[in-house]
Structures are given as C-alpha cells and as structure tokens.
Amino acid sequence: MPHDTVSGKAASATREVVNFRNTHVVLVDLGMGHLTLTGEPEAAVKVGMAQAVPDDVMINADLIKDLADVAKDQVLLQGVLMRVQESPNSSEVVTYAPFTLFPSPVPKAVFLQALAVQTHYNTLVDKISQDQDFLKEALASTIAVDDFAARLFRIHEQILKEGRSQSIVLGLNRSDYMLDQKDGASSLRQMEINTFAASFGGLSSRLPDVHRHILKVAGQLKQSQNILDNNPAAGLAKGIAKAWELYGSDKAVVMFLVEEKQRNIFDHRFIENELWMRNIPTVRKQFDDVYNTGFLDQDKRLFVDGHEVAVVYFRNGYMPQTYTSEQTWDARLLMERSRAVKCPDISTHLAGTKKVQQVLARPGVLEKFFPDQPEVVEQIRATFAGLYTLDMGPEGDQTVAMALAAPDQFVLKPEREGGGNNFYGSEICQVLEGVKDSTERMAYILMDKIEPKPVKNYLLKRDAPLQITNCLSELGTFGAYVRQGKNMVMNECVGHLLRTKSSEHSDGGVAAGVAVLDNPLLI
C-alpha cells in the first residue's frame, strides 16, 4: 500500500496521503490522533461503510460449518499454505496456514494512523542504525548480561572498525500494534518493531480475496467490498529489487538466508516470485552453506556456492538457537563484512532490539533524531506504550517495585524475537524475584500491558474444533526503505498484517502456533 508524505502544514496539523483502495485520502492531525478524512467524497463514504459481521451470522451453526468448508478450500486455491509439522522440508503434503473465518473489526482511525506513521518509523530505524554512540549507550546494560546481544554487538563494532563495505542499506520491517481500549476509546500502542525477518508479507497478500469470498457467501456483500487491497509481497520485493539494482550486477543473486526447517516457505515464495517476475534471480541458502562455500574476493564481493550475492535477505538468524557453533557466527561475520546488501545489516538488527525501544520512549530522545520535526515526534510518540528500564539503580529499582506490586498491569520482555518469550502476571513475579537484586534483570524491559477489547470469531486451524472464540488482534504495518549513501531513494509503507489469537493466550505469533492470519474490517 503506497504511502507518500506531503510536505507543508495546515496550521499545526500534519498532512499525510495514503493510497486507500486506489484512492488518495488525506489524513489530518495524525500526531494528536484526530483524523479527518478528505479527498474524494466517495472514498470517505466507503471507509465508513464497513460494520462487524452480524450476530445472526456468527451463531448460525449450519452456515458456519458450510462457510468453514468453503474458507478452507478458498485459502488452498489462493495459496495461503504452510508445510506440515511432520514434514517441514517437503511440499508433498501441505496444509492451509491458520486463519480467521471472518475479518476482524478494526477502527478506521487507528488503522490509518498506523499506515501514516510507518515511513517515520522507517526513517527512525535507519537513523538509529547510523548512530554508533546512541547504540553503544542504549545497549550497554543489555550486552553486559545477554551473551547473544553481546556477540551481535561485537560484530557491529568490528564492522565499524574495518569500515562498512557497502553504501546501500535495505530495510524491510514491520511495526506491530495492539489497541488499548481501557476507557472505551481505541488508542494505537506499539508492541515492537521487527527489523529482522518480518514475516507473513507473502501469505497476507492473498488473504483479502479469501475473506471477500467468505463474506459474499455469507450474504454480506457490502462488508466484502470493504476488505482492503493488500500486497506486502510486492512492496517488500520492490525494496529488494531496488537494492539489487543499485548493487549493479545483472548476474548477482538475491540470497534468502533460511532456516533448516522451512514450514513457512510459501510466505517466502510469494516474494521470490515477485523478484523472478522482474528477472532478478534468487537462491535459498543456510548458514552452513555460507560457511562451507562462501568467500569474499579482493573487492569484498560475496560468493556463495558459486553465486555472486547482491542482497542477503535474512529470514533466519534472529534467535540464539540458530547460532549453534562458531561456524555459524563466522558465516554471519563473513556476510556482514561483504559488499552485499544485508537485510538487515548488523546495525539495523540492533536498532530493532527491545532495549532500544525502551530508550526511545525517554523524554527528549526522539527529538535527537528529528530535531526540526516536532510533528513527526508527536506522531511516533503517540503510538508508544509505557516502557520502563530495569537497569541497576534507583530508576530500575522503582520499576521492579512497581511490577511486583501490580504484575497484571505489565509485560516483562527479554531481548528475544519469534514469539512466546514474554512474561505475564505471576510469571513476572517469579522472574523478578529471582533477579531483582542482580544485574541479570538488565536483560529485560517492562512495558505497560495493553488491554484490547475481545471480539468473537472462529479460528481455523488444522485438526482443531470449529468453535466461536473470544479473540484479540495485533495489527502490523510493513515498511520498506532503501538508502544509498546519504540519499534515501525509497521509503514506503507497503502493506499491513492482522494476526488474531484466542484471548486465553497472552503471547505467541502465527509461526509459534498461537495466532492466525486475519484481515481488518474497518469500522
């Protein structure tokens, strides 16, 4: 979904243009959360038409059973697929990726707010990745107690010492939000920003047609017309293609650096196909392949298995368990030292850490990165949840006491990605009681717990019973940017992702087996 920033101000307001279903819609006063839709009147009417799925449809058991059968066939037709757990590296037997029967209601104001702020988050991540003093100071406490973060930071320092070999930077990220609805209003609150292997841009590109079809079969024609077009795969591929083009070698490949078990391969394939349609060759390799066959020539060009690599697109390497040996670390360093464009490079990887997110919430920090753009600072800060340090000292002590006194109001986050890592409620007490007087507590941050309003839906999973469930959703917006030297040549919001899970689960994503894919139905 293209996104352009329009320079200029209306009074103190910020003007953003979002391409909404092929119609440019102007959003005003985004920073304060007050959205006014202008532009073509028809577009504004369409935005406001969608309603939640009626109750009489939701509780009609015979209709639901028929719709579920149709829906499963429809996702297979659209290619919303995953390999089965029993054979994660074979496509002989596949199943549908888990998804909701109906699209979930999302307030249009916060949805458009999330789209509009994404290019600013792209810029922020890129600025952080270039600020070595900020990264060093922000991550000092984390790398003192977290071995994984420390190893990554040592690679970062080595690259800075040697000098970066590549002036092209490619960022493909996803900023994830939940809606805080404590007081009846809906406030957009950022959970995290993923700068590494932001997934489901491929599968989510095909899900709108699935939900449109289901709503039509359910007799909800008007609602079906309000499922948004969404093609993150094309936008993410556009960023990769631009980086490949700037690298300047028609024979060089885009290398997908992938896991040993590849259940989610079809999500990758959508992006691969977009690249092949542009005649950009792709290969799929693992860390072992890089270690065993990779080398740098005298110009620091990276070669793996005989291919010159223009772009390394990391879809693996964000969890400690990936780095099973020194050979894996050596392979990561080899790629970082090369002229190949890394997505993300080591600095951008570090910019997406939880600790950086917490430091950014401190007063005055955003202003450092946007010194003459108070309206941008307002737009970004408007999405922040409460974030608190657990560093040693009075401030960290106060955070510990606050969390232990009211654990149900917070989430305890370690420096880990991939879902299923956070602590809630009594778990927070168990963890903090064990580390509250130790520097080990610095490996975590504390965040306010977001309280969205549950909605009813059906979660369609392989071999799971068909039953109505109280659900919570998480909205993600995809960003793509490319910088060459000091020149930002691309900076776009390229789509969105809605993931939904049962309200009984506190944590976990689609790949973790908890959440399912969804679409927003704007209300």
Indicate the annotated binding residues for Mg(2+). Answer: 192, 194, 417
Please report, in range form, the residues annotated as the binding site.
174, 192, 194, 354, 413-422, 424, 447-450, 474, 499, 501, 507
- Give the span between the Cα atoms of 299 and 120, in whole angstroms: 34
Active-site entry in 79, 418, 425, 508: 418
Is position 441 annotated as part of the catalytic site? no
Active-site entry in 274, 378, 417, 492: 417
Active-site entry in 129, 194, 338, 457: 194
| CB-CB contact of 334 with 292 (8 Å) | no
Is position 199 annotated as part of the catalytic site? yes
Per DSSP bridges, beta strands 187-194 and 307-314 are unpaired
Active-site entry in 174, 263, 269, 436: 174
| CB-CB contact of 145 with 392 (8 Å) | no
Is position 315 annotated as part of the catalytic site? no
- Give the span between the Cα atoms of 18 and 65, in whole angstroms: 38
Is position 499 annotated as part of the catalytic site? yes
- Give the span between the Cα atoms of 299 and 54, in whole angstroms: 63
Is position 354 annotated as part of the catalytic site? yes
Rg (CA), the chain: 23
Is position 48 annotated as part of the catalytic site? no
DSSP state of 30: G
Is position 326 annotated as part of the catalytic site? no
Is position 251 annotated as part of the catalytic site? no
Q: CA distances (Å), 513 to each of 205, 234, 444, 460, 461, in order?
A: 20, 26, 24, 12, 9
The per-residue DSSP string of 428-483 comes to HHHHHHHHTTSGGGGGEEEEEPP-PPPEEEEEE-TT----EEEEEEEEEEEEEEEE
User: What six digits make up the tokens of 319?
Assistant: 């969890």
User: What six digits make up the tokens of 139?
Assistant: 């991550």
Active-site entry in 269, 413, 441, 483: 413
Is position 508 annotated as part of the catalytic site? no
For the chain, the residue count is: 523
Active-site entry in 122, 129, 192, 224: 192
Q: Which helix (H) or strand (E) segment is 199 a member of?
A: none
The per-residue DSSP string of 141-182 comes to HHHHH-HHHHHHHHHHHHHHHH--S--EEEEEEEEEEEEE-T
User: What six digits make up the tokens of 16?
Assistant: 């953003």
Please report, in range form, the residues annotated as the binding site for ATP.
192, 354, 413-422, 424, 447-450, 474, 501, 507
Residues 6+ apart with CB under 8 A from 188: 33, 110, 113, 114, 177, 179, 180, 382, 383, 475
What values do phi and psi take at 483, rounded to 5? -120, 135
Residue numbers annotated as active site:
174, 192, 194, 199, 354, 413, 417-418, 499
